[in-house]
Structure 1
Amino acid sequence: MTTAETPSLKSYCLDVAERAHRASRQLSTLSTEIKNRWLLQSADALLQHEAEIQKTNTLDLQAAAGFGLTDAEVDRLRLTSDRIAAIAKGLREIAALPDPIGQVIEGFRRPNGLQIIKRRVPLGVVFFIYESRPNVTADAAAICVKSGNAVILRGGKEAAHSSAAIVEILNKTAAEVGLPADAVQLVSTADRDAVGHFLEMHELIDVTIPRGGESLIRRVASEATMPVIKHYDGNCHVYVDRDANLDQAVEIAVNSKCHRMGVCNACESLLVHRDVADAFLPQIAAALAQHDVEIVGDPQTCQRVPAASAATEADWSTEYLGPKISVRVVDDLESAIEHINRYGSHHTDAIVTKDLAASERFTDAIDSAAVMVNASTRFNDGGEFGLGAEIGISTDKFHARGPCGLTELTSYKYVVNGQGQVRS
């Protein structure tokens, strides 16, 4: 493959985009059978080559210190046997999902006899930029191909060896089953200028999806000449209402924060109604201490939790992605709603309550992609929603919001059937 060492980086990027564009034309009419065969055989191949994948992953883990990765980021980079098995399981789950391409969204007949059909079609070519999570390489490839799209993968340099090993297996399987050769391409250069070149190619690339730090997403949003589905940070909240089951609230808050701290749907801020603060805060402080989570809080929290430090204004809007959480005591439900809508990132927010009216008010008023009632924020996930592996969780309102599964990577067209009608 051409690399960035050739005379022109832009020429390399153009070649990748052109090949993806050609592959997308073939994919748009490819049978569900071939796509599913590729997914299932790829799942088997990933398990068969587990040792090789882990060997390449070791190279990435050894280089992690040089990239200044945090413990949480290194954890996201690591491919254990269980995680490779989970990747394979994800591919099989996507194969089992209905193929969205060709689905009739709606159909009707006009008084003049014209039959109008609204049919689902692929977006075309997806340029996907993502962070150091090699499992995302397989997830994104699978979900794009199943939805009839070619994908250009620009993974983080921290996972370069792992991602390359995974894509090599996917491409080998593609050749065996008759999938277009360039349906899945991994950008082979770490040169940051390559991203800028791809973002100029709106005639060849239909949509860009950046998944990473806020600076990357803002850069892509400002430079892209094609639509962007944005995945901003996940400053997620759990609000413990006055009518909450406190034991349940502890379990939900701990799971939301500690199940995996380095992910976008982890809880970063905890709000507690003043009427239950005396009872709840010591409980949750003790539970979080077992996971070595640092608490920063408002004065009312610090009075009740001696180990807590004073929160700054910046803490309320910070995505920690690690063992730290901000905690605030609020006067009522409306104060919690105001706080979340002001400081949150519109990603995932939860209420714990036995009061139906409070839960309905919360779900109506919180402006987020997913709002949970008596459930962990960690459930905002394509797999947990039954969508299969997701390509990201969009905090946008156009074109998709929340977990982006198969249907979120499609558009539609109208097919009109007539019997010789002409317009008068």
Structure 2
Amino acid sequence: MSIEIKVPVLPESVADALLAVWHVKEGDFVNEGDNLVDLETDKVMLEVPATVSGTIQSIKIPEGTNVTAGELLAVLVEGEAAPVEAAKEEAPVAAASEDAHKLSPAVKVLVEENKLDVSVIPATGKDGRHTKEDILKFLESGQSATKAAAPVAPKATPAAAPLNIPMGNRTEQRVPMTRLRATIADRLLEAKNSTAMLTTFNEVNMKNVIELRKKYKDEFEKRHGIKLGFMSFFVKAAVEALKKYPAVNASIDGNDMIYHGYFDIGVAVSSPRGLVVPVIRDADQKSLADIEKTIMDFAIRAKEGKLGLEDMTGGTFTVTNGGVFGSMMSTPIINPPQSGILGMHKTYDRPIAENGQVVIAPMMYLAHSYDHRIIDGKEAVGFLVAIKDAIEDPTRLLLDI
């Protein structure tokens, strides 16, 4: 029986997609659920899975072609797998290796980062496979699944292939923008041209947060199965500051100002295709551990191109951390239709005056870019000072002051 593989219904506001990569070729046998092709839109990367098991009879559209919803991509002939090769009659591999073959890339990252033995973790996926939810649920339970043997070395993530540009002889190489890169360019220009953007700066002493993290990081990781980073502190601090200055959490729609009674915080994440901003929903209701797990999940899925459109829409404020790349100071650009964005930077030991004495302290510059049409300078500065106060005295986050 022949099965037509078509372009799925595209996300709202997406007119077409670019056929980026075929993962199969004509004559290949595929299992139900296997990813056949990646479709790149200006917002997300879509995967088109096989609806049944069978053989790829023909591929109708080559890579690099623009496609629309409903277009025929390929024809698949339903049927059984090819006979098992004689080589597969060799002695079975170790159980640990069998488990490894059943792990998806996202699950492998979680297992290797937390040094887990998947043989003791219940699997709920198809054919006894472990899902990401299985691993996260096990980590949240606080049980121990560390292998007794030597810890598994984290698998090195291959770096993005550099452009192959010959040096010398005044050579040039022309590379077309990806859909995402072109959209980023358009949105940045839109933000610069359609908002009255202004940036205010401050600096924060990271000493107390660093000491707090150092004191509890091992216990935190043991209890929650996730490392305690600085991003979660800044997300929580931003939420508390937004409660005090609701205009920073608002947006403009025509001649109306919309004040949001919820706190959906976007976090800028680097991916091989460019910068994306997935959103932590209801960040005010999440603990530091919940925020760290959400950010880690975003980072993994961004690297694999698995973020969906629903992950990147509806944010009310954004936090970006250029410090992970070594940035000491920058002016972040607002992510429309939001009215504000917080820029974090690298922490450096610098001399400061403290109680009349010059001391060396770990200092970070903060930048708050905002739309001056809706946020006054007094509110913008007060908002940034509120974040500074919460980070320099983290107990404020617990006492809600």
Between Structure 1 and Structure 2, the one with more helix by share is 1
Q: Identify the TM-score tier after normalising by the shorter chain.
A: under 0.3
Between Structure 1 and Structure 2, the one with more strand by share is 2
